[in-house]
Structure 1
């Protein structure tokens, strides 16, 4: 699990750097830009897939006052 998260973060960083590099040049290479965006989105998708939308236990952040 931890190794997968590290790979996802590396994909996001490399994809972002490649996309910024391709965008910064005067003559933009569209294929490099598409590759960077693909790596960025792949990393974001893999990272978001591992985040659950609901808490797994009954402890919630909102506590109810019982009278």
Structure 2
């Protein structure tokens, strides 16, 4: 597994655990909850940067142009 993917996964898991922990207490600490959410979103953002867009590759057309038929 790539080190960048490992860091992203750790950020997502730790951020989620911190957010759940901060929300599960009787008296919620807003700063810990915000920190957990920020870490979670940071991990998701870094993961989504590596996913290619569906518009990056050229579209393949099933319709042939007339010029291709003449050749």
Number of matched residues? 60
Larger Rg: 2
Runs ≥4 residues deviating over 6 A:
55-58
In the alignment, structure 1 segments of 5+ residues that lack a partner are: none
Structure 2 length-normalised TM: 0.74
- Distance (Å, rounded) in 2 between the aligned partners of 1:39 and 1:57: 32
In the alignment, structure 2 segments of 5+ residues that lack a partner are: 63-71
> Which deviations, in whole Å up to 9, do the C-alpha atoms of 1:6-60 show, x marking residues without a partner?
10000000000000000000000000000000000000000000100138777x8
Structure 1 length-normalised TM: 0.79
